[in-house]
C-alpha cells in the first residue's frame, strides 16, 4: 500500500472557493416605512449596511455599518433574509448577503449620513422602495417584511425564492 499525499490544512483551506459577505439592516419607522440610503457611488438606493470585514461576524458588520452610515447604534436582531448571489461580470466571486432586523426608528436619535459615501436617506413605502432599490435588494425587501411578520427567515438564491428557477 502506498502512502497517500495529503494537503496541509493551510493548503486545503487556500484551495477552497471564497465569497464576498455583506450585511444590512431593515429599519422601519413607526409608520412601517423602510429606511433606505442613497450612496454616491451607485445609481440606486440601498439598505443601510455594507461589506463584512475579515474576521467579523455578519451581524456585527451590520451593526458597525449602520452606525457608520447613518449614526444609529442598533442591535442586529433576527436574521430576516440570506441571499446567495452568483458571480457575474462585476463580481468574480459569489456574494452572500444577510439582512437583519434592526428594529423601529422612533426619531430619538438624529440620522447622520456618512458624507464620504452617502448623499441622502429616506423612509419609504414598500412600493417606493422596490422602485429605488437594485433588482436584488428589491427582491429582499418583501422577503424581509414577510420574515419579520412570520418569524421565519427567508433564504433567497440569486435574489429569488429557492423554489424559483435558480441558476446553478
Residue 27, in any domain of the structure: no
CATH (domain of 74): 3.90.79.10
Furthest-apart CA pair in the chain: how many Å? Answer: 72
Tell me what the mean pLDDT of segment 60-85 comes to: 97
Q: Please give the residue range of the domain that contains residue 99.
A: 48-114+134-160
pTM flag (> 0.85): yes
Residue 148, in any domain of the structure: yes
Distance CA 94, CA 11 (A): 21
* Segment 111-160, tens digit of pLDDT: 999 999 999 999 999 999 999 999 999 999 999 999 999 999 999 998 88
Tell me what the mean pLDDT of segment 75-104 comes to: 95
Residue 24: pLDDT band by 50, 70, 90 thresholds? Answer: very high
Residue 34, in any domain of the structure: no
Residue 153, in any domain of the structure: yes
The pLDDT, as a whole number, for residue 164 is 53
Cell of 24: 444590512
How many DSSP H helices and E strands does the chain contain?
4, 8
Residue 167, in any domain of the structure: no
Total domain count, the chain: 1
Residue 69, in any domain of the structure: yes
Question: How far does CA 112 lie from the centroid of its chain?
Answer: 20
Residue 167 has pLDDT above 60, yes or no: no
Looking at residue 116, the DSSP 8-state letter turns out to be T
Residue 166: pLDDT band by 50, 70, 90 thresholds? Answer: very low
Residue 39, in any domain of the structure: no
| Alpha-carbon distances of 73 from 1, 103, 105, 159, rounded to whole Å | 61, 11, 11, 28
Give DSSP secondary structure letters for 30-95. TTSPEEEEEETTSSSBB-SEEEPPTT--HHHHHHHHHHHHH-------SEEEEEEE---SS-SS-E
Tell me what the mean pLDDT of segment 87-105 comes to: 94
Residue 2: pLDDT band by 50, 70, 90 thresholds? Answer: low
Q: Which residue has better confidence, 2 or 51?
A: 51
Residue 129, in any domain of the structure: no
Cell of 109: 436619535
Amino acid at each position: 500500500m502506498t502512502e497517500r499525499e495529503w494537503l496541509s490544512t493551510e493548503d486545503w483551506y487556500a484551495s477552497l472557493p471564497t465569497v464576498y459577505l455583506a450585511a444590512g439592516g431593515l429599519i422601519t419607522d413607526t409608520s412601517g416605512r423602510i429606511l433606505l440610503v442613497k450612496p454616491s457611488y451607485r445609481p440606486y438606493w440601498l439598505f443601510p449596511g455594507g461589506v463584512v470585514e475579515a474576521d467579523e461576524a455578519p451581524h456585527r458588520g451590520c451593526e458597525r455599518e449602520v452606525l457608520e452610515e447613518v449614526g444609529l447604534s442598533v442591535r442586529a436582531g433576527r436574521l430576516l433574509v440570506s441571499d446567495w448571489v452568483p458571480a457575474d461580470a462585476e463580481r468574480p466571486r459569489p456574494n452572500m448577503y444577510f439582512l437583519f432586523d434592526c428594529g423601529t426608528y422612533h426619531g430619538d436619535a438624529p440620522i447622520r449620513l456618512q458624507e464620504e459615501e452617502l448623499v441622502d436617506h429616506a423612509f419609504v413605502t414598500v412600493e417606493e422602495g422596490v422602485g429605488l432599490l437594485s433588482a436584488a435588494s428589491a427582491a429582499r425587501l418583501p422577503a424581509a417584511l414577510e420574515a419579520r411578520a412570520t418569524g421565519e427567515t427567508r433564504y433567497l438564491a440569486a435574489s429569488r425564492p429557492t423554489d424559483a428557477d435558480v441558476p446553478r
